[in-house]
């Protein structure tokens, strides 16, 4: 089975490839942007890290590995697994673009979520076209 195509894109630098299913994965709305300007398919804020974890991490790179592990643990919860399944289902055969607002393009929740979604798809038979 072919894995889904999942892109990660900083929302301030665009909204990903044309024709992709666009989901904002931040718990808080990105500053200075209007909903109408983004052309989102979904605001998946419940898949974002909890407010406590987000505030603790505060994008301090030295906390990255701990943040990644803690967020992966949050995503392992049954309700989060259901949300990941629903997001993959909603994207269907389109590429999925996870949008985020953080400045750091390598150390952010969308990167962790992409890996978790790919892992979920691999273990649950979800695939792209």
| 8-55 confidence digits (pLDDT tens) | 999 999 888 899 999 999 999 999 999 888 889 999 999 999 999 999
What's the pLDDT score for residue 1?
Answer: 57
Q: Residue 129: its pLDDT value, please?
A: 45
pTM of the predicted model, to two decimals? 0.93
pLDDT at 3: 80
Residue 126's pLDDT is 60
The pLDDT value recorded for residue 23 is 97
Range of 47's domain? 6-124
Instruction: Judge whether 18 lies within some domain.
Output: yes
Asked whether residue 111 is domain-assigned, the answer is yes
- Structural domain contains residue 101: yes
29 part of a folded domain: yes
Residue 1 lies in a domain: no
The answer as to whether 129 is a domain residue is no
36-40, 85-89, 91-95, range with the lowest pLDDT = 36-40
Is 109 within a domain? yes
The count of domains in the chain is: 1
Identify the residue whose tokens are 């273990």: 123
pLDDT bin (cut points 50, 70, 90) of residue 125 is confident
Q: Is residue 13 part of a domain?
A: yes
The Cβ of residue 95 has, within 10 Å, a number of other Cβ atoms equal to: 18
Could you give the dihedral angle defined by the CA atoms of residues 11, 42, 98 and 54, in that order, rounded to the nearest 10 degrees?
A: 80
Q: What is the mean pLDDT of the chain?
A: 93
- Burial state string for 60-87 with b = 16 or more CB within 10 A and e = fewer than 16: eeeebeebbebbeebbeeeebeeebeeb
């Amino acid at each position: 089975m072919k894995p889904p195509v999942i892109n990660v894109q900083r929302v301030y630098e665009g909204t990903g490839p044309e024709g992709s299913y666009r989901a904002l994965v931040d718990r808080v709305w990105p500053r200075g942007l209007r909903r109408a300007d983004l052309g989102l398919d979904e605001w998946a804020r419940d898949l974002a890290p909890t407010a406590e974890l987000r505030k603790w991490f505060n994008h301090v790179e030295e906390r990255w590995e701990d943040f990644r592990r803690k967020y992966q643990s949050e995503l392992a919860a049954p309700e989060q697994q259901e949300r990941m399944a629903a997001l993959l289902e909603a994207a269907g055969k389109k590429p999925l673009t996870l949008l985020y607002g953080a400045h750091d393009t390598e150390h952010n929740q969308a990167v962790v979520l992409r890996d978790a979604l790919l892992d979920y798809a691999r273990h649950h038979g979800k695939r792209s076209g």
